[in-house]
Chains A and B, each alone.
Chain A
Amino acid sequence: MKLKIALAGNPNSGKTTLFNALTGSNQFVGNWPGVTVEKKEGRLKGHKSILISDLPGVYSLSPYSLEEVITRDYLLDEKPDAILNIVDATNLERNLYLSTQLLELDIPVVIVLNMMDVMRKNKETLNLEGLAKALGCPVVEISAINGEGVDQAIEEAIRLAKAKKTVHPCHYFSGEVEHGLAHIEEAILHHLPDQTQRFYAIKLFERDPKIAKRLEMTPAQLAHIEEDIKICEAAFEDDAESIITNERYNYITSIIERCYLKRREENVSLSERIDNIVTHRYFGLPIFALIMFFVYFVSVTTVGAWITDYTNDVVFGQLVPNAVEGFLISINTANWLNSLILDGIIGGVGAVLGFVPQMFVLFGFLAFLEACGYMARVGFILDKLFRKIGLSGKSFIPMLIGTGCGVPGIMASRTIESDRDRKMTIITTTFMPCSAKLPMIALIAGALFGGAWWVAPSAYFVGVGAIILSGLILKRTSLFSGNPAPFVMELPNYHMPTAINLWRSMWERCWSFIKKAGTIILVSSIAIWILTNVGMAGGKIGLVENFSDGFLAMLGGLIAPIFAPLGFGDWQSAVATITGLVAKENVVGTFGVLFGFADSGQAGTALWAPLASHFTTLSAYSFLIFNLLCAPCFAAIGAIRREMNSGKWTWFAILYQTGFAYGVSFIIFQLGNLVINGIFGLGTIAAMVLLIGLIAYLAKPGLPTGQARFRGKKGGQVI
């Protein structure tokens, strides 16, 4: 017997953890609301006929956000055989609000009380039998993270689904409201099954336009029920939606009074104590900056760099090239083939793979910060700052995901309801340094700055700074002007992440990186080697002795002058920048091929000595900034195209990003040249004019007022 069981609940209540426990899959679990944007499906372990759907977390079944629309449409259209409603036992009031709505859907519901272990630790007790009786459905307690009670919960759901035993909601509203609902049911919903009439009547009472459309209501019918709604509104002196909300909360309060016992005195919890420091109005931002500095410093400059040096020196500097070279010589392959394999494939792919250890350390830190709950606070900390530039803290979620990869980061912008804010988030998300940019950051920090402590962390802050500056610039245009939408996010309690979750997160990202090196980077490296080594020499096309005679040098030479004002007007840097469009790892891979990474016979940063001699520190930093901020890789451009749903907007995004990157690099290089080397020229004047023009533009009045305020829950308290 085929069964469909849906997991529904508030954001960050533990649905994906339960989904993983039920299906044995490895879906990403993060400790911030909105991790699941689209529904995920999997088969129950040991029961292939039972499909489990992990729905995005929602607070209600109102159609205000994309997550709510996806969840509601699924429940109404797909009509699963049972719902496992995950309820965070430590936050009953807010979670039961959704439960009261799920119970009206005419679908069997099992309430799954998650985090009961935390509740017990807090010396709080809950009368499960009383709760089940009050809600009119089975209640099971579990701890999804420890796997306790999971089997019992799913068995209960299967039992109800097989029995097709729907729940009749036990809750009733005040007399006037019930009277209004009865009128609506009688007037226009009598053709529907009895059990579903109540849900639709309540939604029509709330003037839900999507439900009215779904039921194909005529204007006459809507006008008829409007009379009943207005009578109620007059009686309660409130709008219809607020009346229903208050009625639900009155009911929930009555349940909690009966079933919930808090033994301990109201103390300030650990989460609240931590929040008092890390979300402090003055210290919050500096603490965030300090944490991210530490993360990038340790990952790229110290611990990560030590392991990477070993990987580069020993594995890809000696072991692999020596072994392969020895083998090729022993079987007597042609010199050009040896060069293709050693300089092209190992040089290009090896140069990229050498940075995997740094990536592993970095993603370990980021996974910890996400899973423990700190990153959710960053949304809160940055909301105030983002609001000033016309973005809401909600834009931080795509940017947070974008530190792993820009593609899902861009797609996560779907949850932003305001079209204007969404477009601005899409345009700016890829400024965050993604995993593909990490090898480039590490290479320049290590090989060109001798492991200077500030280079790698600065890449992260340049990304954040570029978002803020872009926000200020774009918000002053008619395309993006206006106040940001309000942002409501529940801050989860801090908890210690499990080792398996951290490992999964790190491994997923690094394995994807390794796979990419074995596919796109491999093909790109071979193409770069061929185009470098084949060219025109003596009027004939063939293998060339000197790279500068190769086709790549010719092509690179054509575009190199564009980058000359930025300090890297050589064909190698131009080619690396262009190949970076295929995948950003290609920047390092291209340097690996062009500067003989596998062939240098050096160790440590000297491995990259030929490359280092090619740049000054200033031109290297300018190169880094340009490649961090310019148009992203083709995969991300494709994602921008899909999410913008417009060719014009995609071109706008690409041109803006590239123009912005060019402007920033130009100012850095030209003014840096003046300060460091005392060189003054036309470029310096142009950079000064550009900088002064930008400052004057930003100083103009017309900033958004930012009236909307952040609302959320800070360590259990609504703020």
Chain B
Amino acid sequence: MMDWFIGNISTIVVSTIILGLVLLVIRKLVMDKKKGVTSCGTSCSGCAMAGSCCRKPSIKEN
């Protein structure tokens, strides 16, 4: 067991780093989603809507 662990230590470390990175990205995406921040291709300061994505539209549906 120990030999296997030592023999694959580099794979385990790199895999763990990638897994951690992916989990962090997913966490950020989920948190953004909860905050109402969309994954759109522009930043809030560059947007005419000024980051008000999560706000309900003022115009009611007919």
Contact check, B57 vs A328: say whether CB atoms are below 8 A apart. no
Q: Which residues of B contact A332 (CB under 8 A)?
A: 10
When distances are taken between beta carbons in the complex, the residues of chain A under 8 Å from B50 are 27, 36-40
Contacts of B34 in A (CB 8 A): none
Q: Kindly report which residue of chain A lies nearest to residue B37, judged by CB atoms.
A: A635
Contact of B58 with A408 in the complex, beta carbons under 8 Å:
no
Q: Which residues of A contact B42 (CB under 8 A)?
A: 404-405, 407-408, 435, 508-509, 512
**Residue B40 is within 8 A (CB to CB) of chain A in the complex:** yes
A682 within 8 A of B: no
Interface string of B1-36 (1 = CB under 8 A from A): 000000010110011001001100110110000000
Considering the chains assembled together, what is the distance between the CA atoms of A66 and B55 in angstroms? 14
The answer to whether A331 touches B48, judged by C-beta atoms less than 8 angstroms apart, is no
Cα A617 to Cα B15 in complex, Å, equals: 40
A509 & B41 in contact (Cβ 8 Å cutoff): yes
Contact of B25 among A36, A39, A333, A522 (CB under 8 A): A522
The interface residues of chain A lying within 8 Å CB-to-CB of B53 are 407, 411, 639, 642
Residues from chain B with Cβ under 8 Å of A27 in the complex: 45, 50
Task: Decide if A435 touches B41 in the complex (CB within 8 Å).
Answer: yes
Residue A523 CB within 8 A of the other chain: yes
Decide if A523 touches B25 in the complex (CB within 8 Å): yes
B57 A583 Cβ-Cβ under 8 A: no
In whole angstroms, what is the CA distance A504 to B43 when docked?
Answer: 11
CA distance A639 to B50 in the complex (A): 14
Given contact pairs A38-B49, A39-B50, A66 touches B14 in the complex (Cβ within 8 A): no
Q: Is the CB of A414 within 8 A of B58?
A: yes
Q: Is A69 an interface residue (CB 8 A)?
A: yes
Complex contact B47–A520 (CB within 8 A)? no
Count A-B contacts at CB 8 Å: 139
User: Chain A: which residue is nearest B40 at the CB level?
Assistant: A407
| B57 contacts A508, C-beta separation under 8 Å | no
**A457, CB-defined interface residue at 8 Å:** no
Q: How far is A407 from B43 in the complex, measured between Cα atoms in Å?
A: 11
Complex CA distance for A435 and B39, rounded to whole angstroms? 13
A646 touches B41 (CB 8 A): no
- With A509-B41, A519-B28, A522-B25 known as contacts, the answer to whether A66 contacts B10 (CB < 8 A) is no
B27 CB to nearest chain A CB (Å): 11
Q: How large is the interface on A (under 10, 10 to 19, 20 to 34, 35 or more residues)?
A: 35 or more
The yes or no answer to A283 lying at the interface (CB within 8 A) is: no
Tell me whether chain A's interface is mostly helix, strand or loop, or mixed.
helix
Bound Cα distance from A508 to B47, whole angstroms = 10
Residues in A neighbouring B45, C-beta threshold 8 A: 25-28, 508
Q: Quick check: is A422 within 8 A (CB to CB) of the other chain? A: yes
Return chain A residues, CB-CB under 8 Å to B15: 337
Q: Is the CB of B8 within 8 A of A334?
A: yes
CB < 8 Å neighbour of A34 from B11, B14, B47, B48: B48
Cβ–Cβ contact B14 & A328, under 8 A: yes
Which partner residue on chain B sits nearest A646 by CB separation? B61
Interface contact B40-A636, CB-CB below 8 Å: yes
Smallest Cβ-Cβ distance to A40: which chain B residue: B50
A328 neighbours in B (Cβ, 8 Å): 14
Cα(A583)–Cα(B43), bound, Å? 16
Are B57 and A516 closer than 8 Å at their CB atoms?
Answer: no
Q: Is B56 in contact with A642, judged by CB distance below 8 angstroms?
A: yes
A374-428 CB contacts (< 8 Å) to partner B: 401, 404-408, 411-412, 414, 419, 422
Complex interface bits, A300-323 against B, C-beta within 8 A gives 1, otherwise 0: 000000000000000000000000
A644 at the interface (CB under 8 A from B): yes
Taking a contact as CB atoms under 8 Å apart, the answer to whether A408 and B47 are in contact is yes
B10's contact among A333, A518, A636, by CB below 8 Å, is which?
Answer: A333
- The distance in angstroms between the C-alpha atoms of A407 and B46, with both chains bound, is 12
In Å, the complex CA distance between A570 and B25 comes to 31
A321 to chain B, nearest CB (A): 16
* Cβ contact of B14, chosen from A337, A519, A642, A646, cutoff 8 A: A337
Kindly supply a per-residue 1/0 record for chain A positions 419-446, scoring 1 wherever the CB is within 8 Å of any chain B CB and 0 otherwise.
Answer: 1001000000000001110000000000
Q: For residue A427, give the distance in angstroms from its CB to the closest CB of chain B.
A: 14
User: Could you tell me the distance between the alpha carbons of A507 and B18 in the complex, rounded to whole angstroms?
Assistant: 28
Q: What is the CB-to-nearest-CB distance from B46 to chain A, in angstroms, rounded to a whole number?
A: 4
Most buried by B among A40, A66, A412, A511: A40
* Interface residue A660 (Cβ < 8 Å from any Cβ of B): no
Q: How far is the CA of A36 from the CA of B49 in the complex (A)?
A: 7
Q: Are B59 and A422 in contact (CB under 8 A)?
A: yes
Known contacts A337-B11, A509-B41, A512-B43: A35-B58 contact under CB 8 Å? no
B49 to chain A: closest residue by CB: A411
B29 shortest CB reach to chain A, Å? 6
Task: Scan residues 580-633 of chain A and give those whose CB is less than 8 A from a CB of chain B.
Answer: 583, 633
- Residue in contact with B58 in the complex, picked from A39, A66, A412, A512, CB distance below 8 Å: A66
A509 to B40, CA, bound (A): 10
A526 within 8 A of partner (CB)? yes
Q: For the complex, what is the distance from the CA of A38 to the CA of B54, rounded to whole Å? A: 12
Contacts of A520 in B (CB 8 A): 25, 29, 39
Bound CA–CA A642/B15 (angstroms): 39
Of all chain B residues, which has the CB nearest A507? B46
Complex Cα spacing A408 to B42, Å: 8
Q: In the complex, A131→B52 CA distance in Å? A: 38
- CA A508 to CA B42, docked complex, whole Å: 7
Check: A161 CB closer than 8 A to any chain B CB. no
Beyond A337-B11, A345-B18, A434-B41, 7 additional contacts (C-beta under 8 Å) are A28-B46, A28-B47, A38-B50, A328-B14, A411-B49, A412-B48, A512-B41
User: B-side interface residues toward A, CB under 8 Å?
Assistant: 8, 10-11, 14-15, 18, 21-22, 25-26, 28-29, 38-43, 45-50, 52-53, 55-62
Question: Can you give 24 A-B contacts (C-beta < 8 A)?
Answer: A27-B50, A28-B46, A28-B48, A34-B48, A37-B48, A38-B50, A69-B58, A332-B10, A405-B41, A407-B41, A408-B42, A411-B49, A412-B49, A505-B46, A508-B46, A509-B46, A512-B43, A518-B25, A520-B39, A523-B29, A635-B38, A638-B38, A639-B38, A642-B56
